[in-house]
Structure 1
Amino acid sequence: MSNEIIGLPSWFETPPGQYLLAWEQARFDEAVADAFGFHALQLGLPALPALRANRMPHQWLAVDAPLPAGAPARPALVTDFAALPFPASSLDLVLLPHALECSADPHATLREVERVLVPEGRVVICGFNPASLWGLRHGRPRGYPSTSAATGGEPIGYWRLRDWLRLLSFEVESGRFGCYRPAVRSSRWLERWRWMDAVGQRWWPIFGAAYCLSAVKRVHGMRLIEPVWSASPAIAAAPVSVANRRQPAAISTRQENKVSV
């Protein structure tokens, strides 16, 4: 089978694509469930509702090309991922499901994500792992499906991506690998290799077909100060009795009158 570019939407309709989509959906649900803020953005892959487990009030889906008529997802905007229409430090959460691999300039896309994120903002990235059974088939004319046929570009390695994030002052908090079954054509054969998920997670965890990485934007020299929600109560002044100086004077006057009498 030729290694023509079919795109991620079509690739995810294949049995291996559905298998990978289910794994990535679970990873995004875990990563965003406890992410708090007001503004969240997903870049690309409308087939994956990556923000469904998040509770931020403002959520957007952005794509880099108009979707065909009748598409199930409705993006909020169509934009170049390397030039997002958001001011600096305005988003609390950005998700990139295979957005870097599909981008013509992944470095520029990652720098743009760093620009729009607030300090302590979070980015979650999913991508194909080149050091896997699926990655070894990258660029070959035979085999179905391959990562190059899905994205049209070279996959970005996990450790390479970590280095990019460190250069942009991101701190990687967690990373996971998954999908250890071979990318066979039929669902029946894919199910027969189900046992490889447990074995691979235990014995060769870094060789999963995909990875999911979560990182936080750190700003050096910034300190978060806990606000004082309640003012300290004022100390009430204790009552002080005032001596009546007239009374002793009156008593002494009466005593003088008695003496004179």
Structure 2
Amino acid sequence: MYLDVADLRTFYDLPLGRLLRSLVGTRIRALWPSAKGEALLGLGYAGPFLRPYMDEAARCVAAMPAQQGCVHWPRERANGAVLVEVNQLPFSDAVFDRAIIVHALDFSGDPAATLREAWRVLVPGGKLIVIVPNRSGLWSQSETSPFGYGRPYSKGQIQSLLKTCQFDVIAKEEALYLPPSRSKFILRSARTWEALGRALWPAFGGILVIEAEKRLHRGVQTENGKSMLRILRPVFVPEGVTTGMKPAGPGSARHPHVRRKPRSR
């Protein structure tokens, strides 16, 4: 079940929300230093993380799920937000260079379908950043932030989901090592918590920030349904040659350009 868009907007206006926007945004910016001239899609409630790219990107679109609701975004400019069904995006194929998905997969009833739609609207080689609660972190166990309401993921689970949906994972980051608290002392020392957490307990960040790239080739499922294999089939088979056999070479009786002498009676 999605959170209401009004609650999400209110949270990111609070001191804790502004801090999270900064800490998570730092990890995103480290992965994507620039998006100059590119088209960006935000899916879920991604406006706070799209904002740093507004002045350099060719286009930023915040696609907000119908179950969540939609608000005008950004507040100070012409609206760039649209209400969507996350599993049936109202965009043509291959129109976005990059996408950020946050507060979406953890609430979606069919996260694989959501990712397949993201795959469809990305250009070949397009990049995606997925932000989800970390199952091993404290933030998924607390209702202090929106990351405590959806479905948390382990790093292996989100990587497996991305692979199934034809994305290749190229970077894995964690963020939010500070305790999930609104305490002013915790908020003032947030940068120290982040530095210590990344050095001492890197696997226990509150959220996972995963970057992946759109893969073009498709897998073929095996008969047992347990694995996906890339099966190569010949695009041309010479006449008379059974698939799986090597074509006959010149001079062979099976070569199509060599005539066999008729048998004497």
TM-score, normalised by the number of residues in structure 1:
0.68
More RCO (CA 8 Å, sep 6+): 1
- Give, in whole Å, the separation in 2 of the partners of 1:123 and 1:156: 17
User: Residue 115 of structure 2 aligns to a residue in which SS?
Assistant: helix
**Alignment of 1:206 onto 2:203:** yes
Determine the structure 1 residue equivalent to 2:180. Answer: 183
State the Cα deviation string for residues 4-45 of structure 1 (Å, max 9, x = none).
988432333444433221112222333333456643211132
Determine the structure 2 residue equivalent to 1:104. Answer: 109
Structure number with greater Rg is 1
2:60–2:80 contact (8 Å) kept in structure 1: no
User: Deviation of residue 122 (structure 1)?
Assistant: 0.7
Determine the structure 2 residue equivalent to 1:84. Answer: 89
User: Deviation of residue 79 (structure 1)?
Assistant: 0.9
- Give, in whole Å, the separation in 2 of the partners of 1:72 and 1:156: 35
Q: Is the alpha carbon distance of 1:114 and 1:181 closer, same or farther for their aligned partners in structure 2, counting shifts above 3 Å?
A: same
**Alignment of 1:128 onto 2:156:** no
Determine the structure 2 residue equivalent to 1:61. Answer: 62
- Give, in whole Å, the separation in 2 of the partners of 1:85 and 1:97: 19
Consecutive unaligned residues of structure 2, counting only runs of 5 or more, are 219-265
TM-score, normalised by the number of residues in structure 2:
0.67
- Give, in whole Å, the separation in 2 of the partners of 1:41 and 1:190: 30
1:15–1:187 contact (8 Å) kept in structure 2: no
State the Cα deviation string for residues 76-131 of structure 1 (Å, max 9, x = none).
32111111111222322111122212333222111111111122111111122121
1:117–1:217 contact (8 Å) kept in structure 2: yes
Q: How many residues align?
A: 210
Q: Is the alpha carbon distance of 1:201 and 1:210 closer, same or farther for their aligned partners in structure 2, counting shifts above 3 Å?
A: same
Determine the structure 2 residue equivalent to 1:234. Answer: none
Consecutive unaligned residues of structure 1, counting only runs of 5 or more, are 222-261
1:125–1:214 contact (8 Å) kept in structure 2: yes
Aligned sequence identity (%): 27
